[in-house]
Amino acid sequence: MASPSNDTIFGKILRGEIPCDQVYADDQCLAFRDVQPQAPVHLLVIPRQSISDLAQADGQHQALLGHLLLVAAKVAQQEGLGSWRTVINTGAEAGQTVFHLHLHVIGGRPLAWPPG
């Protein structure tokens, strides 16, 4: 079983125990550059609230989920992207490696489909 999301690397980043290259922050989320970028622009948007993945979200998270998507668009535009991909991996088989809900904002080069 995955560890609680506040014990992940993202929990440590949120607590200031591990530095990040921050591009946006507010009272609900934090956005920063991915340390293993898959494109010229690869940002992560993470909620401050501890949610392990999208499958664990429910109706009480509706406003937060909408906020995360709006922040994803904001940071993409802030980085000068006219088009980008927003990805949420849910579960290990889908490629989730950190079990704290997060959105990938990827762009700056042509992106193929399917991704792989």
pTM above 0.75, yes or no: yes
Hey, where are the domains in the chain?
5-107
- The answer to whether 34 and 42 have CB atoms below 8 angstroms apart is yes
Looking at residue 116, its pLDDT comes to 63
* 79, amino acid identity: E
Catalytic-role residue among 61, 67, 100, 102: 102
Strands 29-33 and 22-25, bridge-based pairing: antiparallel
Q: Which helix (H) or strand (E) holds 85?
A: strand 85-87
**Which two three-digit tokens encode residue 108?**
């700056």
pLDDT digits (tens, 9 = 90+) for 11-48: 999 999 999 999 999 999 999 999 999 999 999 999 99
Q: Which superfamily does 5-107 belong to? A: HIT-like (3.30.428.10)
- DSSP symbols for 3-72: PPGGGSHHHHHHTTSS---EEEE-SSEEEEE-SS-SSSEEEEEEESS---SGGG--GGGHHHHHHHHHHH
Q: Rounded mean pLDDT of the chain? A: 94
Q: Is 102 a catalytic residue?
A: yes
| Whole-number Cα distances in Å, 13 to 5, 22, 109 | 12, 10, 28
